[in-house]
Amino acid sequence: MLNIVQRFMKRLVRQFFKKKKKVKIGLYGPPNGGKTTLANRICEDWLGEEMGSVSAIEHETREIKIKEEISVKSGKKELKFNLVDTPGIATKIDYEDFVKKGMSEKKAKQRAKEATKGVIDAIKWLDEMDVVIVVLDGTKDPYSQVNITIVGNLAARDIPVLIVCNKMDLKKAKKKKIEAAFPQYDVVPISAKTGKNIDKFYEALFVIAG
Amino acid sequence: MSLTLQFVPYGEIENLDSTAKVNKLIKIVKEEKIILLEGRIEKNEETLLIKKTMEEIGPKFKGIELFVMYPKDEESDPIQRLKKSVVDMLLGNRQGLTIIGPATIVKEIRKDPDKIQLLTKNLSKRKKTPASRSKSTKKKTKTKKRK
């Protein structure tokens, strides 16, 4: 009962401040799920510019990046928000993994150091978010503890969540697996890289953040 | 190289605050032991554990593998659901199981419907610590002398 009252109060306070400040939409998820690719897609679609660089090597995004004043339009409706791209959340970071992918030891150690700081910052920023888009790689097992921890934490903080099943341009991608792992959430299958189903993503964004 | 599993009863962490709980768990994992924790920690403590892990990463500690088994939440029968609510209220986080292992030892923890698979790294191939390296050097020296 106390929980319900607490949640209601939290929501009320959030609704009040939402009107005062810009809505912050955060992109969260494990490394290499396609958060920055989706951020770039949104920014290219509505601002005409990219947000950050992408790479096949994990932890390319190692610091919080914010794009302000994005305005998404759908018919007569308009949604204005600040987009926050966060580093991928992981429970382990080993510089030797980067070395194996062809990086020099010095660069790999630096990348690992920055990546650990990035994860800490991403966790710190959780409280700042009004809405979170959890970006998952549709080709991978969604039952990883990192995914469960992220989604569970957002639910505990009563932050609205939209789950994106990314990389649908790849044959191995399975939306059903993600839906089975998180049955209480809407899952939008997209390819941030090719733009497949991106309209459905914007529609879902309006529903959850509009 | 042996593998050490340490069972942590829920009572050992029950009365600790979140930071103390997480510090205790990290301390054990850094001793290269795999923790089998009775029950589970709070959701916010899971993120605190990840955050603290990242702060501790260094040349010897590469992070953790974390696995939490939550109690099933699939009862459709109203009586069973009521029973479950009562058990939840009485036991709280004492239900379930948490496994935390150092990433240098545990490669992956997989959950199949009725089993948990703990995939370890090839321990014999692991890099030796300075202490064990000096011991092995001594052994080699002795062998040479015998020749």
Residue pLDDT, tens place only, A92-122: 999 999 999 999 999 999 999 999 999 999 9
Q: Look up the ipTM and state it.
A: 0.85
Which residue range forms the structural domain that includes residue A166? 24-209
Instruction: Note the pLDDT of residue A180.
Output: 94
Q: pLDDT > 90: what percent of chain B?
A: 51
Confidence of residue B75 (pLDDT cuts 50, 70, 90): low
Q: Say how many domains are in chain A.
A: 1
CATH number at residue A68: 3.40.50.300
Q: Is pLDDT at B144 greater than 70 in this prediction?
A: no
Mutation site, A149, A150, A157, interface B, largest B CB count within 10 A: A149
User: pLDDT band for position B142 (50/70/90)?
Assistant: very low
A151 found inside a domain: yes
The three-class DSSP label of residue B46 is: helix
Domain membership of residue A33 (yes or no) is: yes
Residue A16 lies in a domain: no
**Rounded distance, CA A39 to CA A52, Å?**
8
Q: Say whether B63 and A120 touch across the interface (CB within 8 A).
A: no
Q: How far is CA B60 from the centre of its chain?
A: 16
Rounded to the nearest angstrom, the minimum Cα separation between B66 and chain A is: 6
Let me know if residue A19 belongs to a domain: no
A:B CB pairs within 8 Å: 64
Asked which of A54-58, A64-68, A128-132, A172-176 is least confident by mean pLDDT, the reply is A54-58
pLDDT at res. B146: 42
Residue with tokens 């959701």: B43
- Is A10 a member of any domain? no
In a domain? residue A17: no
B→A interface, C-beta within 8 Å: 42-44, 46-47, 50-51, 53-55, 57, 62-68, 103, 109, 111
Structure tokens at A93: 């970071």
pLDDT band at B68 (very low <50, low <70, confident <90, very high): very high
Ranges of H-type helices in B17-98: 18-30, 43-56, 78-91
pLDDT confidence of residue B93 = 82
Q: In the numeric block, which tokens belong to residue B112? A: 């199949």
CB contact under 8 A, A91 and B64: yes
Place of tokens 């009365």: B15
What pLDDT was estimated at residue B77? Answer: 77
CA-closest candidate to residue B11, choices B106, B92, B129: B92
- Give CA–CA dist A54/B24, Å, rounded: 37
Q: Are A71 and A13 in contact (CB under 8 A)?
A: no
User: Are the beta carbons of B63 and A89 separated by less than 8 Å?
Assistant: no
Residue A159: pLDDT over 70: yes
| B100-141 tens-digit pLDDT | 999 999 998 987 767 888 899 876 655 554 444 444 334 443
Residues on chain A touching B57 (C-beta within 8 angstroms): 92-93, 112, 116
Nearest to B33 by CA among B59, B12, B5, B10: B5
Separation between Cα atoms, residue A93 and residue B22, nearest integer Å = 19
Q: Which residues of A touch B60 (CB under 8 A)?
A: none
User: Does any domain span residue A111?
Assistant: yes
Reading the block at residue B107, the tokens are 């490669």
Tell me if A87 is assigned to some domain.
Answer: yes
